[in-house]
Structure 1
Amino acid sequence: MKSSNSLIYKGLRLIFKPLFYILFRPVIVGRENIPKSGGAVIAGNHKHALDPIFVDICTKRVVCTLAKKELHDGKFGFLFRGAGTIPVDLHSAHNPAALKAAVKALKESSLVNVSPEAKRNYTDQLLLPFKYGAAVMSYRTGVPIIPYAITGNYRPFRERVKITFGKPIFPSGKETHEINNELYDSIAQLLRENMPREELEHKKFTTFEEWSNDNEKTS
């Protein structure tokens, strides 16, 4: 990330962090799993537009977040561009420019935050099927993936949100589908361990391997 983007990013975090703590009283577990130096992919479930800010306040390091292209083109696009987020076209099957930018950031020892579900989950499934972006980034650069799960609800002054970071997933000796499989199941396990029981009871869970097999049968 350019030094000018880094300054804007840190300035925005300085503003948003205290507001986030006042409004949502966040609980952060396992932040020690985020490396203090070197590149790493940070990947987790996506339930709310505020998820990236939650991840940002969990570390003193600058985090490059993959964000949908519409945010860069909207009226507040200057904030996203200034903070160094990486635009992704969610309507395209492939995003080579975004992948190239993320890989470059990782090789420069940055943290990159990815939502493998690619969109917010409004279904009764515990997790949506994962895109392969996070796994490919890790595979190409050799950096670990730090899985996380966000639970609770973003209801100001009424509820608390929680983020739990799991142990790193290392890509060495694995293919991309194996990395993605491990990431999916790791995040699912974090959700099952931390999601409120009354919410979890209404969720369906399919392992990544089961989803892949079903997808192959119908394709």
Structure 2
Amino acid sequence: MFYLFMKRFIVGPLVTVFFRPWVKGIEHIPEAGGAILASNHLSVSDSIFLPVAVDRPVIFLAKSDYFNGKGLKGRITAWFFRMINQLPMDRSGGAASANSLGTGAQALVDGQLLGIYPEGTRSPDGRLYRGKLGVAKLALEAGVPVIPVAMIGTDKVQPIGKRVPNIRRVGMIIGEPLDFSRYAGMSEDRFVQRSVTDEIMYAIMRLSGQEYVDSYAATVKARLDAERREQQGKK
């Protein structure tokens, strides 16, 4: 499998040499069976560092923009993300997002590890933002545990907007699996989905030590972009 070749002989050695990642709690990753790795999201490189640290293959739901680029650069980007086990995630809502989640759910039923960022997008300022309900829906429908993960320092390696990463050490803390079997058969209940999602975000917050913000990161990003445009218009 080309993914394993990339991980073992190309991406893995490069990450190890240049970023010297440290990992705590790797024993919480099950040796077999489906599970969700629910992580905070500080950098686009999170989807590279975490799979390198885990022995089993990890599939990530990545934003569909990475797969829809135009020209040679767009095709190369899409190829790279597919080769490192990324699946396109449509964030537009409605049927498109449901279909994307369905792909993730099938991966879990097939006994695979699925990585997901409950915040839905990278943190704009290093804080932890409110989780979207997709992670809960996936966990409840597939009946799998959720393993909280905290990425440490990856925002310093590759801040938003920076293409060439800084060379510095990164870390990962993997928490104990969260069991939501008590909610079996309630995957469509929005109150249950919110309760499960909030429990997952609380676990991530405890691991990462981040300040929690009870707003969606995408909403904050949109506001900051609007303020930036307004300031530029005044110049």
**TM-score (structure 2 length as normaliser):** 0.75
Deviations 1:69-88 (A, max 9, x none): 12112222123234442101
Deviations 1:88-108 (A, max 9, x none): 123x02401111111101000
Aligned residue pairs total: 192
Deviations 1:49-71 (A, max 9, x none): 11011110122211111011121
Match of 1:127 in 2: 128
Query: Secondary structure at 1:173's aligned position in 2?
Result: helix
Query: 1:8, 1:179 → 2: CA distance?
Result: 35
Among 2, 8, 18, the residue aligned to 1:8: 2
Query: 1:177, 1:143 → 2: CA distance?
Result: 17
Match of 1:93 in 2: 93
Match of 1:118 in 2: 120
Query: 1:158, 1:78 → 2: CA distance?
Result: 25
Structure 2 residue 51 is the aligned partner of structure 1 residue 56: yes
Deviations 1:121-174 (A, max 9, x none): 1226x2122111111110001100000001123277853111000011111113
Structure 2 residue 99 is the aligned partner of structure 1 residue 105: no
Name the stretch that deviates more: 104-113 or 92-101: 92-101
Answer with 1 or 2: which has the greater Rg.
2
Query: 1:19, 1:176 → 2: CA distance?
Result: 39
Match of 1:189 in 2: 206
8 Å contact from structure 2 (residues 157, 166) kept in 1: no
Query: 1:185, 1:140 → 2: CA distance?
Result: 21
Q: Which amino acid aligns with 1:184?
A: M
Residue 30 of structure 1, CA deviation: 0.4
8 Å contact from structure 2 (residues 143, 181) kept in 1: yes
* 1:69-218 alignment, distance < 5 Å: 69-73=64-68, 74-76=74-76, 77-90=78-91, 92-94=92-94, 95-123=97-125, 126-152=127-153, 153-154=156-157, 159-174=168-183, 175-192=192-209, 204-206=211-213
Residue 25 of structure 1, CA deviation: 0.9
Query: 1:69, 1:187 → 2: CA distance?
Result: 25
Query: 2:170, 2:106 → 1: CA distance?
Result: 32
8 Å contact from structure 1 (residues 139, 171) kept in 2: yes
Q: Which amino acid aligns with 2:128?
A: L
Note closer, same or farther for the CA distance 1:33–1:109 as it changes in structure 2 (3 Å cut).
same
Name the stretch that deviates more: 142-151 or 74-83: 74-83
Match of 2:28 in 1: 33
- Structure 1 stretches of 5 or more lacking a match? 1-6, 193-199, 213-219
Note closer, same or farther for the CA distance 1:121–1:168 as it changes in structure 2 (3 Å cut).
same
Note closer, same or farther for the CA distance 1:173–1:111 as it changes in structure 2 (3 Å cut).
same
Q: Which amino acid aligns with 1:205?
A: Y
- Structure 2 stretches of 5 or more lacking a match? 69-73, 159-164, 184-191, 217-235
Query: 1:93, 1:80 → 2: CA distance?
Result: 22
Deviations 1:15-73 (A, max 9, x none): 10110011111111101111110000001110111101111012221111101112112
8 Å contact from structure 2 (residues 137, 193) kept in 1: yes
